[in-house]
């Protein structure tokens, strides 16, 4: 079965748009023209701080209106921080449909230079589907979407079709990406997790690797046999080509074990294109459920063990504010009384007055918007984000006040410039949520499973592993799931948080492809976004894959109507992460799950950092004419 799917593309290239290579500290202008996307589009510069340039953040409906077909929007920002970043549409569903590209900010004084000889390899990862993200969301909201999972861990609520590396996979394009190395050299690989849903585990046959940066920021080198990448995350690793001259598989697998490999090719080894040992039929297509707790795997469960690398700033030793955010499925779960009654969600100290009193909805509330009652609906603190009717920007026109968020359902917390904020992120369910903060990087002070809150609701800073000395500095944190005590618990649950029908092999099919990516390296770039039309399925249908023995099927989601009460979870079984950031960048900044289906359906909020109003410094104001029609 071949399926045609309309894909969106930058500059007409399949897979990834042109790679933007910027130099740290330089000012860039990038003109984005919407060629033909009827609903409009925007571009977000993921990982870039955009100091005093919240208006250029590209968050549709939040920092700018959508660029209409035929329209051009001019982004302008200082390239910082250095490292491996990316750009993508920030309109619902569009990055998962193809609007993504790599953005590398190079530092002429790279503190990681000593670890590698070569820096040409980009490993751009994407999940591709035979349905659009909008179709997937509609299917979830109708309660009919298939889901995949493994016993004891929840994986994804998107269908699986293929994983592409640099726009290539056996399944979708008929050939695997090839990375060529020369024996004896050390290579820096810049990995971008451009997937909209699936988490991946990457390993290189016969080689250990060393992680040296996450989300662009250096970490203390961490040896690994494999590493996990979630949606939005970047991982830089060093591969030493110290094995015999040959071809090797680079296994890129979902945590349910679907493998979409690339090939590591040593110069002098047979051409992989004609090497039968590296053909489409010779790789292991399904490993079965992967144990991410294995020694040597660096992933979500090891996040707290990673330390800051060279030149990473130390965290401020005190915070001025603590905010608790429960990551919650609001579609199938009511607000549990155990949280609602005891929660202290927002505590202030050090002279900052309480600007908002965060509360949870009343225990037992049904909080999904009416049209989605009982359906697919994600939240923070059971507050389901909806786009504000007006852009919540600070502008000269309103004397530096944020507009558009007071009387609507755009969950917003206002911070004062200079505050040091701790967020306790608490995962109440069985899906990992890769959370992304715009406008600032943060220190990962703690992560794990257990109760990170003291009896009074504040963060327990004496928790094991709490790190104020050398924590990693990132812009993504994947918050691990609540502890699952038995498979029976999983199967007895209903709702969208981890249950669904297992995917059938017949769900996989061909996808159109066209074009090649074109590197671009200049101080000013022009990028055009447009819908590339589905061509014919490239390559052959996917190999049939038998589910492994430990792949379990949950019941089909009931979907309509009733809420299924949350399975009682002990506070000692909740997944958590604590992050700290400085609110020193005025503007409006989104904080959201990077799984597109989750942010699209409500797992998003805004931090507005109120500027210190000055009559002379208006650089953080939106430029005149910014507000395109939403
Ligand atoms: Cu999520």
pLDDT at 530 over 90: no
Burial 562-591 (b: 16+ CB within 10 A, else e): ebbebbebeeebbbbbbbbbbbebbbbbbb
45 CA to middle of ligand 1, Å?
20
Cβ(199)–Cβ(155) under 8 Å? yes
Q: Give me the helices (H) in 398-498, please.
A: 487-492
pLDDT at 55 over 60: yes
262 CA to middle of ligand 1, Å?
27
Q: What is the mean pLDDT of the chain?
A: 79
Cβ(503)–Cβ(146) under 8 Å? yes
180 CA to middle of ligand 1, Å?
35
Across the range 240-249, mean pLDDT stands at 98
Instruction: Give the least confident one: 161-165, 362-366, 506-510, 623-627.
Output: 506-510
Q: Between these two residues, 550 and 326, which has the higher pLDDT value?
A: 326
Q: Cα 588 vs. chain centroid, distance in angstroms?
A: 19
Q: Between these two residues, 441 and 359, which has the higher pLDDT value?
A: 441
508 CA to middle of ligand 1, Å?
24
329 CA to middle of ligand 1, Å?
9
- Closest among 98, 100, 166, 96 to 137, alpha carbons compared: 96
Q: How many whole angstroms separate alpha carbon 153 and alpha carbon 540?
A: 31
Across the range 374-392, mean pLDDT stands at 83
625 CA to middle of ligand 1, Å?
34
User: Who contacts 473 (Cβ-Cβ below 8 Å, separation ≥6)?
Assistant: 217, 308, 312, 313, 441, 442, 443, 444
Q: Between these two residues, 424 and 399, which has the higher pLDDT value?
A: 424
Cβ(603)–Cβ(380) under 8 Å? yes
Instruction: Please measure the distance between the N-terminal and C-terminal CA atoms of the chain and give it in whole angstroms.
Output: 38
Burial 43-52 (b: 16+ CB within 10 A, else e): bbbbbbbbbb
Question: Which among 318-322, 395-399, 579-583 has the top mean pLDDT?
Answer: 579-583
304 CA to middle of ligand 1, Å?
19
Confidence of residue 261 (pLDDT cuts 50, 70, 90): very high
Q: Between these two residues, 362 and 78, which has the higher pLDDT value?
A: 78
Q: How many whole angstroms separate alpha carbon 211 and alpha carbon 237?
A: 4
Query: pTM for this one?
Result: 0.86
The percentage of residues in the chain with a pLDDT greater than 90, rounded to a whole number, is: 47
Per the document, the length of the chain is 630
598 CA to middle of ligand 1, Å?
5
User: Which tokens hold the place of 209?
Assistant: 């690797």
Instruction: Give the least confident one: 98-112, 144-158, 403-417.
Output: 144-158
In terms of Cβ atoms closer than 10 Å to its own Cβ (0-12, 13-18, 19+), residue 187 is buried
Q: How many whole angstroms separate alpha carbon 556 and alpha carbon 545?
A: 21
Confidence of residue 581 (pLDDT cuts 50, 70, 90): very high
Across the range 501-509, mean pLDDT stands at 25
pLDDT at 332 over 60: yes
Q: How many whole angstroms separate alpha carbon 324 and alpha carbon 357?
A: 12
pLDDT at 364 over 70: no
What does the pLDDT read at residue 279? 93
95 CA to middle of ligand 1, Å?
15
482 CA to middle of ligand 1, Å?
13
Confidence of residue 411 (pLDDT cuts 50, 70, 90): confident
601 CA to middle of ligand 1, Å?
10
Q: Between these two residues, 608 and 519, which has the higher pLDDT value?
A: 608
Q: How many whole angstroms separate alpha carbon 432 and alpha carbon 435?
A: 9
Across the range 12-17, mean pLDDT stands at 83
Residue whose tokens read 């099919």: 509
433 CA to middle of ligand 1, Å?
4
* pLDDT tens-digit map of 441-473: 999 999 999 999 887 778 899 988 899 999 999
334 CA to middle of ligand 1, Å?
18
Cβ(433)–Cβ(593) under 8 Å? yes
pLDDT at 388 over 50: yes
- Closest among 379, 382, 387 to 90, alpha carbons compared: 387
What does the pLDDT read at residue 569? 67
Judge if the upstream peptide bond of residue 453 is cis by omega within 30 degrees of 0.
Answer: no
Confidence of residue 562 (pLDDT cuts 50, 70, 90): very low
466 CA to middle of ligand 1, Å?
24
What does the pLDDT read at residue 390? 79
Strands (E), 409-497: 412-416, 420-427, 433-437, 442-449, 473-474, 476-479
626 CA to middle of ligand 1, Å?
30
Cβ(510)–Cβ(348) under 8 Å? no
Across the range 593-614, mean pLDDT stands at 87
Across the range 36-54, mean pLDDT stands at 93
274 CA to middle of ligand 1, Å?
41
Residue 94 DSSP symbol:
T
155 CA to middle of ligand 1, Å?
11
Sign of CA dihedral 490, 492, 496, 499: positive
377 CA to middle of ligand 1, Å?
11
193 CA to middle of ligand 1, Å?
15
Q: Residue 9 forms beta bridges with which residues?
A: 530
DSSP assignment of 135-156: HHHHHHHTT----EEETTEEEE
603 CA to middle of ligand 1, Å?
7
Instruction: Report the chain's C-alpha Rg in angstroms.
Output: 23
Q: How many whole angstroms separate alpha carbon 120 and alpha carbon 189?
A: 8
What does the pLDDT read at residue 536? 30
Residues by chain with Cβ below 5 Å of ion ligand 1: 433, 593, 595, 598
548 CA to middle of ligand 1, Å?
26
Burial 115-153 (b: 16+ CB within 10 A, else e): bbeebebbbbbbbbbbbbbebbbebbbebebbbbbbebb
What does the pLDDT read at residue 297? 93
119 CA to middle of ligand 1, Å?
32
* pLDDT tens-digit map of 183-238: 999 999 999 999 999 999 999 999 999 999 999 999 999 999 999 999 999 999 99
* pLDDT tens-digit map of 114-155: 999 999 999 999 999 988 999 888 888 887 776 666 765 557
> In this structure, are strands 27-34 and 524-532 parallel, antiparallel, or unpaired?
parallel
426 CA to middle of ligand 1, Å?
12
Q: Between these two residues, 438 and 30, which has the higher pLDDT value?
A: 438
What does the pLDDT read at residue 374? 55
Q: How far is CA 390 from CA 50, 402, 413, 511, in A?
A: 22, 10, 16, 38
182 CA to middle of ligand 1, Å?
40
What does the pLDDT read at residue 528? 58
SS (H, E, C) 530-549: EEECCCCECCCCCCCCCCCC
Instruction: Give the least confident one: 136-140, 340-344, 350-354.
Output: 350-354
Confidence of residue 249 (pLDDT cuts 50, 70, 90): very high
595 CA to middle of ligand 1, Å?
5
The percentage of residues in the chain with a pLDDT greater than 70, rounded to a whole number, is: 73
Across the range 171-191, mean pLDDT stands at 96
Cβ(233)–Cβ(434) under 8 Å? yes
Instruction: Give the least confident one: 162-171, 198-207, 445-454, 562-571.
Output: 562-571
Cβ(145)–Cβ(159) under 8 Å? yes
């Amino acid at each position: 079965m071949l399926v045609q799917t309309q894909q969106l593309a930058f500059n007409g290239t399949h897979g990834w748009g042109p790679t933007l290579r910027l130099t740290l500290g330089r000012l860039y202008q990038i003109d984005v023209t919407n060629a033909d996307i009827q609903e409009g589009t925007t571009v977000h510069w993921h990982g870039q701080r955009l100091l005093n340039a919240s208006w250029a953040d590209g968050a549709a409906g939040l920092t700018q209106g959508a660029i209409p077909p035929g329209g051009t929007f001019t982004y302008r920002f200082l390239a910082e921080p250095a490292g491996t970043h990316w750009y993508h549409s920030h309109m619902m569903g569009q990055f998962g449909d193809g609007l993504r590209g790599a953005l590398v900010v190079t530092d002429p004084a790279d503190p990681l230079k000593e670890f590698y000889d070569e820096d040409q390899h980009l490993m751009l990862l994407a999940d591709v589907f035979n349905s659009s993200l909008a179709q997937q969301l509609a299917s979830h909201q109708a309660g009919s979407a298939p889901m995949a999972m493994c016993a004891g861990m929840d994986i994804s609520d998107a269908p699986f079709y293929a994983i592409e590396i640099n726009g290539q996979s056996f399944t979708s394009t008929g050939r695997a990406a090839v990375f060529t190395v020369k024996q004896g050299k050390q290579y820096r690989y810049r990995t971008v997790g451009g997937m909209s849903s699936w988490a991946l585990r990457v390993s290189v046959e016969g080689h250990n690797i060393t992680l040296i940066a996450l989300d662009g920021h250096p970490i203390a080198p961490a040896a690994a046999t494999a590493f996990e990448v979630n949606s939005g995350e970047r991982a830089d690793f060093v591969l030493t080509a110290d094995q015999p001259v040959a071809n090797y598989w680079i296994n890129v697998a979902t945590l349910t074990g679907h493998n979409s490999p690339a090939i590591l090719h040593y110069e002098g080894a047979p051409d992989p294109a004609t090497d039968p040992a590296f053909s489409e039929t010779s790789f292991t297509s399904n490993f079965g459920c992967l144990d991410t707790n294995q020694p040597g795997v660096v992933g979500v469960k090891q996040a707290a063990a990673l330390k800051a690398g060279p030149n990473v700033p130390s965290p401020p030793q005190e915070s001025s504010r603590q905010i608790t955010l429960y990551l919650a499925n609001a579609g199938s779960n009511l607000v549990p009384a155990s949280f609602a009654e005891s929660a202290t969600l927002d505590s202030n100290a050090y002279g900052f007055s309480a600007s908002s009193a965060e509360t949870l909805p009343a225990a037992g509330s049904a909080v999904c918007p009416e049209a989605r009652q009982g359906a697919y609906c994600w939240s923070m603190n059971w507050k389901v984000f909806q786009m504000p009717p007006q852009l919540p920007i600070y502008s000269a026109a309103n004397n530096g006040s944020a507009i558009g968020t007071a009387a609507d359902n755009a969950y917003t917390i206002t911070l004062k410039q200079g505050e040091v904020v701790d967020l306790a992120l608490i995962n109440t369910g069985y899906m990992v949520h890769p959370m992304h903060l715009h406008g600032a990087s943060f220190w990962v002070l703690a992560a794990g499973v257990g109760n990170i809150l003291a009896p009074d609701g504040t963060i327990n800073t004496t928790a094991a592993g709490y790190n104020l000395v050398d924590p990693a500095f990132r812009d993504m944190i994947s918050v691990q799931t609540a502890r699952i005590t038995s498979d029976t618990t999983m199967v007895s649950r209903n709702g969208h948080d981890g249950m669904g029908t297992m995917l059938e092999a017949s769900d996989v099919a061909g996808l159109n492809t066209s074009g090649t990516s074109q590197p671009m390296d200049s101080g000013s770039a022009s990028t055009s976004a447009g819908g590339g039309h589905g061509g014919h399925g490239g390559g052959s249908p996917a190999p049939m894959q038998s589910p492994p023995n430990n792949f379990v099927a949950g019941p089909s989601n009931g979907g309509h109507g009733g809420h299924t009460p949350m399975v009682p979870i002990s506070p000692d079984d909740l997944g958590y992460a604590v992050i700290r950031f400085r609110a020193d960048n005025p503007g409006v900044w989104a904080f959201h799950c990077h799984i597109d289906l989750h942010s699209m359906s409500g797992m998003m909020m805004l931090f507005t950092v109120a500027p210190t109003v000055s009559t002379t410094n208006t650089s953080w104001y939106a430029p005149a004419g910014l507000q395109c029609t939403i």
